[in-house]
Structure 1
Amino acid sequence: MSYAESNAVFGTESSTTDGHADAPAAFPRWLLWAVWAALAVPSYFIGMYALRYLYTGPEGVEALNSVYEMLNMTSFNDFVAEQLPKFKEHRTLLYFHAAGMGTALAVGAFQFVPALRLRWFRVHQSIGVVYMAAALIGSFAGGVFAVVLPAEPGMAAVVAIVGVATTTFCFTAMGLLRLLQGDFTHHGEWMIRSFSQTLSGTTLRIMIIGMDYAGLPWHENYMIALWMCWVPNMVVAEVIIQYRRARRNGEPFLGPSPRAAGVA
């Protein structure tokens, strides 16, 4: 892919080449980097922390107790104790899920660094292969895990986990399909959707901490977080995709396009 093609794919051009008006002004670069860092930094450490299961085994879940105690979140100690026997019973699923989603969460944000895409495209491709393989394996294992190892809050929790696992798997698979078809524009859009669901691993933990400090009992806390960690992410991803389409086509993000206004 050439530099120009990459710009067209990822919406980094300031205007289009087919006579359309200039695209709406982009957000300030400092703001984009601040948002990226706010997502990428915790995601990297959460993803790397999840990989501990590969060398600690199921007993790695007990490490969460020390983390929760450091954050003064003792209400989750019982939850951690409940998970250990289940993790021991399904070690293989645990390893695949932790390795897959931990890796995807750690590397996913780097796919959205413009310099990586445009100047070191081979690096972008290599990370992309790792991300897609990890997300497909980790999400599939997570969905199966949720069924054979039901979450304590009940069926609604199982549905939530299966839901995010399914969307992660399907969005990533669609991104891979578009890539193989040479449709780089829609590949990029599907990968935005995919990473929005992978980010549920970050938003889940942030929400759990926030709701615990708000005094919400852990069963209610966990149930709400399981749904709110991925459904809003999906909505935000669609807003970002529509914004990028508007910039790429030289149309306003909100309101009718100049062409539509002319027809009216």
Structure 2
Amino acid sequence: MTESTPPRRRAGRSGWLAPAGLIALSLVPVAAGAFRVAELSSGAAVTPANARFFDSPVPVVVHVIASSVFLVLGALQFAPALRRRRWHRLAGRIVAPAGLLSALSALWMTLFYAMPAINGPALFVMRLVLGAAMAAAIVVAFAAIRRGDVARHSAWMTRAYAIGLGAGTQVLVFLPWTLVLGAPAQTAHDVLMGAGWAINLVVAEVLIRRRAGRSARLPAPTPSAAPARLS
């Protein structure tokens, strides 16, 4: 006979699947950002594709560092084992400011960088709307946790993370299109970029509603079961 894995251990392992998947999805944008920073710091040749970064390097460096921190540490915030520990709160004090810097620097680059011709007007509007929405979601989440509203805090941080992870999902969206049909034209490029964000936001809403459903099914604590409050 073979011994089965204890249920608690199996649950612990499965609890790390989501953070591991999110980190894996973050690898492409994090690696691309690291390459961009290395290019700037090494004095690489200036080309039409990277001239805007050399002309104004601070916003892109801030965006790369802040986004990398937000994506990696933010992914770990989805681990149930860490949410039940002080680590979650301490990491949150880094994740939230990093997310704000990521969103605000993205807005700055959208408004002031000369973007490649492949980026159409629809993508410009999406970047403005989603960048502002990501920053607003983090502010709402912060205000919620200050009031002790954990459910609202979790929901809005999940939405902010979904927007921030858009670059990772966009790689998965672009890959099959490019392999089958080749490089997309401007309109298709904008649609595919939008699809990456849309997929993330739909998944985020499903997750939020599942959490709310589980919380609603939990029995309310009885007076005898409620913890005593120290005076």
**Normalising by structure 1, what TM-score?**
0.68
Supply the AA of the counterpart residue of 2:149. D
CA deviation string 1:89-119 (max 9, x = no partner): 221111121111122112211001011111x
User: Which shows bigger deviation, 237-246 or 109-118?
Assistant: 237-246
Q: Residue 83 of structure 1: SS of its match in structure 2?
A: coil
Q: 1:175 aligns with which of 126, 129, 141?
A: 141
Cα gap change, 1:126 to 1:54, in 2 (>3 Å): farther
- 1:37: Cα distance to partner? 2.7
SS in 1 for 2:49: helix
User: What is the percent sequence identity of the aligned residues?
Assistant: 20
SS in 2 for 1:234: helix
Equivalence for 1:191: 157
**Aligned residue type for 2:192:** A
Shift in Å at residue 218 of structure 1?
3.5
CA contact (8 A) 1:207 1:225 kept: yes
Taking a change above 3 Å as real, the CA distance of residues 93 and 215 of structure 1, as seen in their structure-2 partners, is: same
Aligned residues of 1:200 and 1:230 also touching (Cα < 8 A): yes
Tell whether the 8 Å contact from 1:48 to 1:103 is kept in structure 2 after alignment: no
Partner of 1:127: 91
Given candidates 18, 21, 25, the residue that maps to 1:42 is 25
Question: Secondary structure of 2:67's partner?
Answer: helix
Shift of 1:81: 5.1
What CA deviation, in whole Å up to 9, does each residue of 1:216-238 have, x standing for no partner?
43334532222111123212211
More displaced 10-residue stretch of structure 1: 139-148 or 82-91: 82-91
Equivalence map 1:89-128=2 (5 Å) = 89-118=55-84, 120-121=85-86, 123-128=87-92
Q: 1:33 to 1:106 in 2, by over 3 A?
A: closer
Shift of 1:45: 5.8
Give the equivalent residue in structure 1 for 2:169: 203
Q: Distance in 2 between matches of 1:140 and 1:215?
A: 34
Contact 2:28–2:168, Cα closer than 8 Å, also in 1: no
Q: Matches of 1:60 and 1:129 in 2, distance apart?
A: 34
The CA RMSD over aligned residues, in Å, is: 2.8
Supply the distance in 2 between the matched residues of 1:154 and 1:215 (Cα, whole angstroms): 19
Q: Identify the residue that residue 86 of structure 1 maps to in structure 2.
A: 52
Q: List runs of 5+ in structure 1 lacking aligned partners.
A: 1-27, 63-79, 252-264
Matched, 1:226 2:207: no
State the partner residue of 1:145.
Answer: 109
CA–CA distance in structure 2, aligned partners of residues 196 and 60 of structure 1? 34
The secondary structure found in structure 2 opposite 1:112 is coil
Which of 177, 191, 210 does residue 243 from structure 1 map onto? 210
State the Cα distance separating 1:56 from its structure 2 match: 3.6
Shift of 1:195: 1.1
CA contact (8 A) 1:197 1:233 kept: yes
Deviations 1:151-179 (A, max 9, x none): 42321121122222122111111111111
Higher relative contact order (CA 8 A, sep 6+): 1
8 A contact 2:27–2:168 mirrored in 1: no
For residues 60 and 122 of structure 2, the distance between their equivalents in structure 1, rounded to whole angstroms, comes to 21
Tell me which amino acid in the other structure corresponds to 1:40. I
Contact 1:105 / 1:199 at 8 angstroms: preserved in 2? yes
The aligned counterpart of 1:19 is none
Aligned-pair distance for 1:245?
0.9
